[in-house]
Amino acid sequence: MTQLHPGDVLNPHDLTTITDTPVPVPDAALLVHLQFRRYAGCPVCNLHLRSFAARHDELAAAGIREVVVFHSRAETLREFQGHLPFAAIADPDKKLYAEFGVETMSPWLALDPRSWLTAGRAIARAPSLRGAAGAGEQHLGLPADFLVGRDGQILAAKYGRRVDDHWSVDDVLGLAGQAHLSR
């Protein structure tokens, strides 16, 4: 898989959310924070996304559109992510994952104690454990984050090495601030 780097330019994508709403990436009016997450019921992903949902107004005020991609079916995502105040995209065939070079972790990496500690903390804070098992879904996905400029240029990219290796809200706001200053 070929990974993307700052300076690379994306071809336009017309994505469709789990509520059948079209989402352009890039967006001519906003920066796009494109997040790749694991499966729909992933406790680590859910904890992470709750932090983004809680600060969604702040992100929007900074001119950032949040778009999150899961390698789950839309029906499953609606059950676990239907409450998100931003775009959630189903990619069960992992076509976008392949296009963006988002990898799957090795089984050995899944044994990393940091991943287990993070998963334990996320499960302890989960409102429900019903989705944690992710029946029928692949558990070895890795996260990735991209900040995409209005012109489609990748302004910043992060490929996670563990289940919790992703940008925080503060990271995204800082990167967006830098992007606004440099333009």
Environment class of 111 (CB within 10 Å of its CB; exposed 0-12, middle 13-18, buried 19+): exposed
Amino acid at 103: E
Q: Which fold has domain 13-182?
A: Glutaredoxin (3.40.30)
DSSP single-letter state for residue 55: T
Q: What is the pLDDT along the chain (183 residues), one digit of tens a residue?
A: 689 999 999 999 999 999 999 999 999 999 999 999 988 888 888 888 999 999 999 999 999 999 999 999 999 888 877 789 999 999 999 999 999 999 865 555 555 666 555 555 545 454 444 444 444 455 567 899 999 999 999 999 999 988 888 999 999 999 999 987 766
- Beta carbons of 40 and 80 less than 8 angstroms apart: yes
Alpha-carbon distances of 111 from 6, 11, 105, 106, 134, rounded to whole Å: 31, 36, 10, 9, 18
Amino acid at 84: L
**pLDDT score, position 107:** 57
**pLDDT score, position 161:** 86
pTM: 0.84
**pLDDT score, position 9:** 97
- Beta carbons of 36 and 143 less than 8 angstroms apart: yes
**Ranges assigned E (strand) in the chain:** 13-16, 22-25, 31-36, 64-70, 87-90, 144-148, 154-159
Domain ranges of the chain: 13-182
Phi, psi at 161, each rounded to 5°: -105, -15
Amino acid at 135: A
Q: Of the candidates 142, 137, 134, which has an alpha carbon nearest to the alpha carbon of residue 164? A: 142
- Token reading at 65: 């559109």
Query: Residue with structure tokens 């019921």?
Result: 41
